[in-house]
Amino acid sequence: MHLARFPRIALGHFPTPLEKLENLTRALGGPNIYIKRDDCTGLATGGNKTRKLEFLVAEAIAQGADTLVTQGATQSNHVRQTAAAARKVGMTCHALLERRVGNMGDGYETGGNVLFDDLLKCHYEFRPDGVDMNAEALALTEALREKGRNPYFIPGGGSNTIGALGYVHAAQELVYQADTSGLKIDKIVHATGSAGTQAGILAGLFAMSTPIDVIGISVRAKRDAQIANVHKLAVATADMIGARGELPVETVEAYDEYVGPGYGQPTDSMVDAISMLAAEEGIFLDPVYSGKGMAGMIGLINQGVLKKGENVVFVHTGGAAALPAYEHLFTKQQRA
C-alpha cells in the first residue's frame, strides 16, 4: 500500500491528535476510551471530509477543474469543507442542500454550517427531501459545463474510492500513533453515514493486516443497507490500493439503533452524549454525526459490548459548526 501513487494536495493539519479521555473513561466505568481528533483537521473548523478532499481536490486540479460541485443536507459538514477547499485552491463551489430535516425553526437554514457556506461564497440551492441528490448534482455539473465552466463532481460526503483514500491514510496514521505510544487498540467506533470514512478505515486496516474491529454507528440507513454500502466501497477501495484478498463482509459492523426518527433528527441519547463529553472533557460533538456516534458508543458500553479493560478509539468526525442550528436543544437561556 503506497498512497503516494495517488495525487494529493495539503488542505488539513495532520496527524490529528490521539488522546485518552480520562474523565469519560472514569465516568462510564467501562473500557479505556481514546479519541482521534479529526475535528482538528483545520479546514473551516475541521472535520473528517478534509482528509477525503485532499485526494478529491488533487484529482480535480489534475483535470483542470475550476469549479467543485457537490451535495449534502442543509447542515452539511461536507459542503462547508468542500466550499473551503475550493476557496483555498482558487476554485468556486456550487452545492445542493437537501431539506432532509424539518421542524427545526427558521434559523436552521441560515445558521450553523449554512452561515459558513455564505462566508465561503458557496453558490447553493435547496432541494426537497427524498430526491436523488447525486443525480441532481450531476445535472448541475452538466449545466455548468454547458456554460463554459470545467466542473468536478464530488458525491455526497466525498464517499467514492478517491475520497476513501483519506481514511486509508487515517488508518495508517492511527496505527502508527498507537504503535509508537505502545497502545493496543481493540475497537474503533465512529458515526457512519455516506460510508467513505468506515470503508476507508476498513480498507486501510485490511491492507495492513491489522485486526482491529471497526464499529459504525449509523446516522441514517438501516443496519443491513449500511453494511452493504460500506462493504461495497471498502472492497473497491482495497482493490484500488492493491490489497491482497477479498475483504470479508463480516468485518463490517454497524448499529442502527441510534438513528432515532431519522437523519439529523434529535434524540435524547444524542443530546446527553454531547452534553456529557462537553462537561467531562471540554470537547464539542455535532448533533447529526458524532453526537449519535458517541451515543452509540455509550450504549454499547452500557450493554457490555465494549468491555472494561479494552482500548476503544472514538473517531471524532467534526461538525460542531452545526450546533448553533440545534441551539434550542442545549441552551438554558430564557428568552423574553
> Which residues are catalytic, by number?
76
Report the DSSP pairing between strands 32-37 and 18-20: antiparallel
SS3 state of residue 277:
helix
CA-nearest of 209, 148, 145, 144 to 175 is 209
Bridge partner list, 126? 97
Element (H, E) at 92: strand 92-99
- What secondary structure does DSSP assign to 146-211, as a single string? HTT--EEE--GGG-SHHHHHHHHHHHHHHHHHHHHHT----EEEEEESSSHHHHHHHHHHHHTT--
The angle, 0 to 180 degrees and rounded to 10, between the axes of the packed helices 223-240 and 196-207 is 50
What the block records as the C-alpha cell of 203 is 480498507
Identify the three-state secondary structure at position 33. Answer: strand
Interaxial angle between packed helices 161-181 and 49-62, expressed in degrees from 0 to 180 and rounded to the nearest 10: 130
